[in-house]
A = this chain, B = another copy of it.
Amino acid sequence: MSDLLKKAQLVKDTTTSLATKTTEEKNEALRLLSEALREQKSFIMTENQKDIEKGRANGLHESLIDRLILNEQRIEGMADALIQLTDLSDPIGDIIESWDRPNGLEIQKVRVPIGVVGMIYEARPNVTIDAASLCLKTGNAVLLRGSSSAIHSNTALVQVIHDALKESSLPNDAVQLVEDTSRQTASEMFQLTEHLDVLIPRGGKKLIDTVVSQASVPVLETGAGNCHVFIDESAKKDMAIDVAINAKTQRPSVCNSAETILVQQNWAEKHLSELVEKLQAAKVEVHGDSFTVNQGENVIEATEADYETEYLDMTVAIKVVETVQDAIDHINHYGTKHSESIVTETDQHVIQFMNEVDAAAVYHNASTRFTDGFEFGFGAEIGISTQKLHARGPMGLEAITSTKYLLYGEGQIK
């Protein structure tokens, strides 16, 4: 039996036991893990150093090296996050609904763990702790498959997890790392429908697309964000400019940052030159349609490709539109159903935009940058779903749970 299958079976065998653990037992395991991380800091850093050296030897870009690094501060951060996680309420066991049927059957819909989560992720080794802890908090087992570039770090972290689980009442095998990081093994993992209840890919678009297109196991897709801010005719000038600049520049590398700003013609005639000037002052490279090109120096003429691109850096596309309907049509055509915002003082346009834009999060008079689990108040985040099944938008703990019906009778037959 391959290492993959052996470990998949090990984690699967822990699900019944995990599902029945109390909140306090799960929190105790998280506290033990937090302590173990602090205690074994130097071991983790020594192992991490091997990945960093290998990365440098392989000519890995410094920005990727930076993602790999586990220093004291980052390990402390991981340990702190575990303690915060113990404060969150445990969704498992919640009775979501209950009702009686005319034949006397009592039906309860209760929240249960999803079972086994398969996590496939790229360089950042902190995902190992992040994923394992969110899964344990919700009574799930997890099969981890990180990248080869972080294999020493991930192996060390899973060893620390096992040390902590041994002290706890949770089953030791609930967290397993697939040590073979070949593509072949990843492809085999995509097909383990008998062992895995869900696959969660975390990483770049290519990784996610590969998992979505190849996996037979259901996938929780955390996708790209080609997000828009639409500035309507009645938008307040300063608010519109602040929202647009914040959505673009506050952290351009993340999926909820804006990529295209749509501007209503009449507003554009009055204020677009100021918006362009302020974007450029904030060091944003502005691409624009023919109208926008004339609103400032150094505006690059936008092409179709601009509207399709998730820049993820300090570049923005600007397009002038006639109506709110034009803005909605543009967004529903080019957008990735992530986060979309309208700035307007016109109630009718708010209703139309909120109803007709097809996205996980639709904003009125606010920056798109609020689409994340912490800003929504969930206290944790598995990722931001851009699909419509199971979970949409920021995913908190509930996203890695399922439900089950319990039916209580007195001998009812059909």
B105 touching A411 by the CB < 8 A rule? Answer: no
A389 touching B105 by the CB < 8 A rule? Answer: no
Give the nearest-CB partner of A354 in chain B.
B406
Number of interface residues of A (CB under 8 A): 68
Instruction: Contacts A358-B16, A412-B366 given; indicate if A405 touches B393 (C-beta within 8 A).
Output: yes
A403 CB–B CB distance under 8 Å: yes
User: What B residues does A414 contact at CB under 8 A?
Assistant: 246, 250, 367, 369-370, 375
| Complex Cα gap A191–B212 (Å) | 10
A413 touching B242 by the CB < 8 A rule? Answer: yes
Give the nearest-CB partner of A217 in chain B.
B212
User: What B residues does A218 contact at CB under 8 A?
Assistant: 218-219, 221, 387-389
Instruction: Kindly supply a per-residue 1/0 record for chain A positions 385-414, scoring 1 wherever the CB is within 8 Å of any chain B CB and 0 otherwise.
Output: 001111011000000001111111111111
| Complex Cα gap A104–B407 (Å) | 42
A361 touching B413 by the CB < 8 A rule? Answer: no
Give how many copies assemble into the complex.
2
B198 touching A413 by the CB < 8 A rule? Answer: no
A15 CB–B CB distance under 8 Å: yes
B198 touching A388 by the CB < 8 A rule? Answer: yes
User: What B residues does A410 contact at CB under 8 A?
Assistant: 365-366
A388 touching B356 by the CB < 8 A rule? Answer: no
Instruction: Contacts A387-B218, A388-B115, A390-B390 given; indicate if A359 touches B411 (C-beta within 8 A).
Output: no
CB-contacts of A306-324 with B (<8 A): none
B369 touching A413 by the CB < 8 A rule? Answer: yes
Instruction: Contacts A365-B410, A412-B370 given; indicate if A388 touches B197 (C-beta within 8 A).
Output: yes
B404 touching A364 by the CB < 8 A rule? Answer: no
User: What B residues does A370 contact at CB under 8 A?
Assistant: 105, 407, 412, 414
| Complex Cα gap A296–B402 (Å) | 43
From B107, B376, B404, B409, give the contact of A359 (CB < 8 A). B404
B403 touching A15 by the CB < 8 A rule? Answer: no
CB-contacts of A324-374 with B (<8 A): 328, 332, 354-356, 358-367, 369-371
- Interface contacts beyond A236-B411, A370-B412: sample of 7 additional A-B pairs, CB < 8 Å, sorted by A: A212-B216, A358-B404, A366-B408, A376-B405, A388-B402, A392-B403, A392-B405
Interface residues of A, Cβ cutoff 8 Å to B? 15-16, 19-20, 99, 101, 105, 107, 114-115, 191, 193, 197-198, 212-213, 216, 218-221, 236, 239, 242-243, 246-247, 250, 328, 332, 354-356, 358-367, 369-371, 375-377, 387-390, 392-393, 402-414
